[in-house]
Amino acid sequence: MNRNRLMMIGVIALVLGAFLSLQVYQRLQAGSAGQRKPGIDVVVAANDLQVGAKLEDRDLKVVNWPAENLPEGVIHQKSRAIGRGVLEPISRGEFILINKLADKDVAGLPALIPPGMRAVSVRVNDVIAVAGFVLPGTRVDVLLTGTPGPGDSVTTTVLQNVAVLATGQKLERNAAGEPQSSAVITLLVSPEDAQKLTLASQEGRIQLSLRNILDTGQEKITSVRNATLYNGGLPPLAPAPTRVATKIRHAPRVAAPTPPSPYTIEVIRGNEKKEVNFQQ
């Protein structure tokens, strides 16, 4: 009988302890919720945004964030961001900051051109564009292959560490997030380099060389000629055949025959006598 009573007392104690623990936990949670400050609605990126992209409603979402942890320049309404161009790459979930967006009146490519710089577009194919991996924000070297002389092909580096502004007709990746294979690539260059790039596109074939964005050095690169591709150089060209001057022999001049001397005949008519000359 005493044993059953002790077991009952133990069960009652466990139930009371669990009840009291639940009450304490609920009170603590209510107290912390009352002390928590309400958050503020801010706009973040719903997708990865590339440089030059024009923001649409589907690219943005509103989240609630503690006010004390917000960076300067955050946007609180989607309407302030929709229609603007992106000046810097923005990752998914990142705050949309006002200094990373262009004005609505200059959205797109013109907003990306700094003062004193120029945007020049060149036609390329999939190979020249490094198999579609030349994207906005990457950096490239521009190589030119031409023939400055007969039988002399040369490849030279025209420009180094050039920023890519746009590829093709769009400044962002496609819906699947894959790199676009485009026919036109727009590069950001100085006015002097814009002239070089335009001339190079007319003089020969342009090739782009993709480089690490952290590699910003400008190196002195020697041009490469076709002779360096062969062991010992190209074989010497065969000399042009030499023409041997032929002396023209003229037929000897034959002296014209001496005309025969005329002869004279004396003619007598009556009392008259006359000499008449005749040619032989």
Q: Are residues 82 and 133 in the same domain?
A: no
Q: What's the pTM value of the predicted model, to 2 decimals? A: 0.50
**66 and 47 both lie in a single domain:** yes
Asked if residue 224 and residue 182 are part of one domain, the reply reads yes
**How do the pLDDT tens digits run along the chain, 280 residues long?**
566 777 777 777 777 778 778 777 777 776 655 555 578 899 999 999 877 788 899 999 999 988 887 888 899 999 999 988 888 888 999 999 998 888 776 656 777 788 899 999 888 766 555 656 788 888 999 999 988 877 788 999 999 999 988 776 544 455 665 655 556 888 999 999 999 999 998 888 888 888 998 888 888 888 888 877 776 555 555 555 666 666 666 666 666 666 666 767 776 776 777 776 766 6
Of 90, 110, 130, which marks where a domain is finished?
110
Indicate if 102 and 145 belong to the same structural domain.
no
Same domain, yes or no: 165 and 83: no
Q: Do residues 85 and 131 share a domain? A: no
Three state DSSP letters for the chain: CHHHHHHHHHHHHHHHHHHHHHHHHHHHHHHHHHHCCCCEEEEEECCCECCCCECCHHHEEEEEECHHHCCCCECCCHHHCCCCEECCCECCCCECEHHHECCHHHCCHHHHCCCCCEEEEEECCCCCCCCCCCCCCCEEEEEEEEEEECCEEEEEEEEEEEEEEEECCECCCCCCCCCCCCCEEEEEECHHHHHHHHHHHHHCEEEEEEECCCCCCCCCCCCEEHHHHCCCCCCCCCCCCCCCCCCCCCCCCCCCCCCCCCEEEEEEECCEEEEEEECC
User: Distance between CA atoms of 187 and 161, rounded to whole angstroms?
Assistant: 10
Q: Is residue 272 part of a domain?
A: no
Residue 100: closest CA among 51, 144, 143: 51
User: Which of these three, 94, 110, 126, is where a domain ends?
Assistant: 110
The contacts of residue 82 (CB under 8 Å, 6+ apart) are 55, 56, 57, 60
* Structural domain contains residue 78: yes
Q: What is the pLDDT of residues 226-267, one digit of tens each?
A: 877 776 555 555 555 666 666 666 666 666 666 666 767 776
Phi and psi at residue 88, in whole multiples of 5°?
-135, 150
Full residue range of the structural domain in which residue 95 is found = 40-110
CATH number at residue 79: 3.90.1210.10
Beta-carbon count within 10 A of 102 CB:
20
Domain boundary among 73, 89, 110: 110
